[in-house]
Structure 1
Amino acid sequence: MELLKVNGRFDGKKIAVGILVPVIGGAITGWLANRNAQEKYDKLKKPSYSPPPSVFPIAWTTLYTMMGTAKYRVGMRQETGNKEKPAIPLYELQLGMNYLWSFLYFRWGLRGTALIEMTVLLSTIALTTYEFYQVDRTAGTLMIPYLGWVLFALCLNYHTWKLNDRK
């Protein structure tokens, strides 16, 4: 519970919104982007280190929850100062880019374009992590697993693209 207290305060509504926006947004995006695309994806050659499909929803739900918690903490800190920091706009940008990647990769099969977009996404996540850390060390730390997972996903994206048609 201490994780959810910022400056001794807890705001249940803000933490709920902070977590639910990325979790529900990710679920909706995944459903829309993956609908009718899973059969094509299953037929692709994948690198040996590619995890089973059941890992992805668990990983993303956990990461979205951590991201939402980080945003909540930064938002709570910015209520009492640090309003000039670009942390929240960067967070929103990277979240939108995260959602876009699913459409590029799964829905439209543009794995090369998705690879480029994910490279920019990774940079944006790194910047967001840095800015979050400047505002709240815990928030910045909560973003690190997401940064690592997207780096892993970048490698998966690259090797899957390389092993297949390179579209």
Structure 2
Amino acid sequence: MKFLAFILNIALTLCVGALGGYATAQSVKIWYPTLNKPSFNPPNWLFAPVWTILYILIGISAYLIWLKRDQIIHFPRTVAIYLIQLILNLAWSFIFFYLHEVGFALAEIILLLIVIVINAIVFYKIDKRAGYLFIPYILWVSFASFLTYNILILN
């Protein structure tokens, strides 16, 4: 049962990533190259492996929380925060790459970052390892926020 839960937690986050990839697939080839981007913009090939690693870390973190679900008084609230964070993560891809709404995407990614930090704190209080696993995610989304801001300014 634990192995299945482990796989399901990682699979959920990877599915979110796959859906986000669907939203970005055409725009990365057609729209995104037409944008003015800052000099520190990473190469396109870097995004998929970074996000894959992040989604796996997020899934492991969720699994660690799942293991302690019987000890968590407000488990439904913990799950809700986690799911809201995943939904906001997915929404950013659609807003930025599918709708091409860079300004709205900036506002949304700031909200996403706030919810990620809240999620990390909630997880940390339950299992320190689960909270620490969110640090790379926080750092990457902070960078993505700064990148989105610069793309907005340059365009």
- Which bin holds the TM-score, normalised by the shorter protein? over 0.9
Contact 1:126/1:147 (8 A) holds in 2:
yes
Distance (Å, rounded) in 2 between the aligned partners of 1:149 and 1:115: 14
> Aligned letter for 1:40?
W
Q: Is the 8 A contact 1:115 1:157 kept in 2?
A: yes
* Match of residue 69, structure 1, among 53, 60, 70: 60
TM-superposition CA deviations, 1:78-100 (whole Å, max 9, x none): 22x11315322111101000000
Of 17, 27, 32, which aligns to 1:41? 32
For residues 122 and 94 of structure 1, the distance between their equivalents in structure 2, rounded to whole angstroms, comes to 9
Separation in 2, partners of 1:37, 1:128:
30
Q: Does 1:118 align with 2:118?
A: no
1:1-167 pair list within 5 angstroms: 11-31=2-22, 33-38=23-28, 39-79=30-70, 81-85=71-75, 86-164=77-155
Query: Distance between the aligned counterparts of 1:70 and 1:12, measured in 2?
Result: 14
Larger radius of gyration: 1
Aligned partner letter, 1:88: V
| Aligned AA (2:37) | K
| C-alpha separation in 2, matches of 1:83 and 1:19 | 24
The size of the alignment, in residue pairs, is 153
Runs of 4+ in 1 over 4 A off after TM superposition: none
Q: Using the TM superposition, give the Cα deviation of residue 28 of structure 1 relative to its aligned residue in structure 2, in angstroms.
A: 2.4
CA distance in 1, matches of 2:42, 2:20: 20
| Offset at residue 25 of structure 1 (A) | 2.2
Q: Is the 8 A contact 1:35 1:107 kept in 2?
A: no
**Greater helix share, 1 or 2?**
2
Partner of 1:37, secondary structure, is: helix
Percent identical pairs in the alignment equals: 33
- Aligned to 1:45, the other structure's residue is in SS state coil
- Tell me the distance in 2 between the aligned counterparts of 1:156 and 1:149: 10
CA deviations 1:109-131 (Å, max 9, x no partner) are: 00000000111110000000000
**TM-score, with normalisation over the residues of structure 2?**
0.95
